Structure 1
Amino acid sequence: MQETSARPTDREIIRFERPMAIVGGGVVDPALLRELAERGVALVGADGGGDAIGAAGLVPELIVGDLDSLSDRAAWEARTRVIHIPEQISTDFQKALYSTEAPVTLALGMTGKRLDHTLAALSAVLEYAPQRRLVLVDEVDVALAVIGPIGFAAGAGERVSIHPLVPVSFRTSSGLRYRLDGLQLEPGGLLGTSNEGTGGQVEIVPMDGTPWLLILGKERLWDLVAA
């Protein structure tokens, strides 16, 4: 259980003018990390995620967290910027989120290995979705936190899952096998898992700005980043 303490109010914000990837200690594909670096994405380690970046033969531009999982803090401090945030009310993912800004934020290694870490990552996405563009990346899927309407192209039969983080109602939809018109999706109730595109443009219009997740196959990662 985490101790209760206040988040620092005088914290420095590290700003990136290009896409950023926050890397945690869950399941991470080293080849994808190297591809991100080649495409100019800034790599930020959330505590032990710095070691995951190092294992891919890369050096993160920043490591941030309470540093209880980082293998060799002194060695990393000699190679890159390390920010120690000792408060225990938030996860290392949240620390990395409130310490940075970027036009698009990818999150890798926040799922897998431990279910509690996965659930905590979803909670962080719900908290920060109104403030920044967030994409969770795992071995199979990419999940974009959406506020308001969205439009994108999807192939016929392509899996398009709509997952409610909290109860969310939809006004209209098009381009989906199972329309969302007038439906309310909610955890513990009706879900939008394994919907499909009909081929062409998909349009989804919710009733308001409640956050929800658009989940597509991992091959759509760069489409979401470019969008």
Structure 2
Amino acid sequence: MSHEDIVISDRPVLMLGGAVTEAALRVVGGLLAEPDLAGAPVVAVDGGARLAISAGLTPQAVIGDFDSLGPDEAAQFDPATLHRITEQETTDFDKALRSVRAPVVLGAGFHGARIDHHLAALSVLARFPDRHCILVGTEDVTCLCPPELAIDLSPGDWLSLFPLAEVQGTSSGLEWPIDGLRFRPDHRIGTSNRVTEGRVRLQMTAPGMLLILPRRALRPLLAALSRSGARWPARAG
């Protein structure tokens, strides 16, 4: 399937999902208060347009199949910003993430009440390993770990690694090193590790490991991904 870049930015992009909740609005408010995100381009993912409306934001683009976007809501946006992708084989988050080219995408509104929606969003991170994307919740931040990552954290912070596929890696700065371990979702996982040094270094052998950190680690994670030149290649097809 060919992918068209609908939004191209040299700055981080704020992407809004369809979980229009008080928690999601708090997350969006917190992101807008981040110095690096002031005036950042906004992309709404189908029903995420309602989250944009509730937050008083004007998206640069609304992307999806529009099965969750009513005509009255669509009428509130410039028609030129509405990008309908009609295929039904992928989720709206998939459609949006593959259509945005930016150093980092920050997603809010993807931590909803339904775990199937959350799991589907995590699978999209693995499907597009070449795109740095951080999903931001009220308690945590999640991204797909790139081939190499050096991030400045506080000793005592928790750090979790969860494999979506078989993957190995190395680490420094963690209480329980991961060197020599083979991770797999139905075998060994790496949740609830702990930071022992200010700088944590991770290396992964494959694009299959989720990195989950406390919400307060958003700023260092954004900085680490922004300066990292290490990216996985795009998946074929």
Q: Distance in 1 between matches of 2:60 and 2:186?
A: 40
TM-score by length of 2: 0.83
Instruction: After superposing the two structures, state which structure 1 stretch, 48-57 or 142-151, moved more.
Output: 142-151
> Which residue is equivalent to 1:115?
115
Of 211, 215, 219, the match for 1:214:
211
Displacement, 1:10?
7.4
Quote the residue 2:124 is aligned against: 124
Q: Say if 1:34 and 1:143 are closer, same or farther in 2 by CA, change over 3 A.
A: same
* Distance in 2 separating the partners of 1:132 and 1:105: 8
TM-superposed deviation, 1:95 = 0.8
Superposition RMSD in Å: 2.1
Deviations 1:43-73 (A, max 9, x none): 1100010110110111111111111112424
- Structure 2 counterpart of 1:174, which letter? S
Whether the aligned pair in 2 keeps the contact of 1:76 and 1:82 (CA below 8 Å) is: no
State TM-score, norm by structure 1: 0.87
Question: Which structure 2 residues correspond to residues 42-191 of structure 1 after superposition, within 5 A?
Answer: 42-71=41-70, 72-78=72-78, 81-129=81-129, 131-170=130-169, 172-191=170-189
What residue identity is the alignment partner of 2:182? Answer: Q
Match of 2:7 in 1: 14
Letter in structure 1 aligned against 2:104: V
Q: Residue 188 and residue 120 in structure 1: after superposition, are their counterparts in 2 closer, same or farther (change >3 A)?
A: same
Match of 1:3 in 2: none
Native 8 Å contact 1:33 1:56 kept in 2: no
CA distance in 1, matches of 2:53, 2:96: 17
State how many pairs are aligned. Answer: 217
Alpha carbons of structure 1 residues 200 and 118: separation in structure 2 relative to 1, 3 Å: same
Change (3 A) 1:36 1:126: same
Relative to 1, partners in 2 of residues 1:81 and 1:36: Cα closer, same or farther, differing over 3 Å?
farther
Alpha carbons 1:22, 1:46 under 8 Å: kept: yes
Percent of residue pairs bearing the same amino acid type: 37
> What amino acid is aligned across from residue 14 of structure 1 in structure 2?
V
The CA deviation at 1:209 is 3.2
Q: Which amino acid letter does the alignment assign opposite residue 87 of structure 2?
A: E
The residue number in structure 1 matching 2:229 is none
User: Where does the alignment leave 5 or more consecutive residues of structure 2 unmatched?
Assistant: 225-237
SS of the counterpart of 1:52? helix
Match for 1:204 among 202, 212, 217? Answer: 202
- 8 Å contact from structure 1 (residues 60, 80) kept in 2: no
Q: 1:15 to 1:216 in 2, by over 3 A?
A: same
* Deviation per residue, 1:201-227 (Å, 9 max, x gap): 222233x23331211111111222222
Q: In structure 2, do the counterparts of structure 1 residues 10 and 18 end up closer, same or farther at CA, with 3 Å as the change threshold?
A: closer
2:202, 2:100 → 1: CA distance? 30
Q: Cα distance 1:182–1:95, how it changes in 2: closer, same or farther (>3 A)?
A: same
Which runs of 5 or more residues in structure 1 are unaligned?
1-6
Residue 186 of structure 2 aligns to a residue whose secondary structure is coil
Taking structure 1 as reference, are residues 74 and 181 closer, same or farther at Cα in structure 2, changes over 3 Å only?
closer
In 2, the alpha carbon distance for the partners of 1:48 and 1:33 equals 19
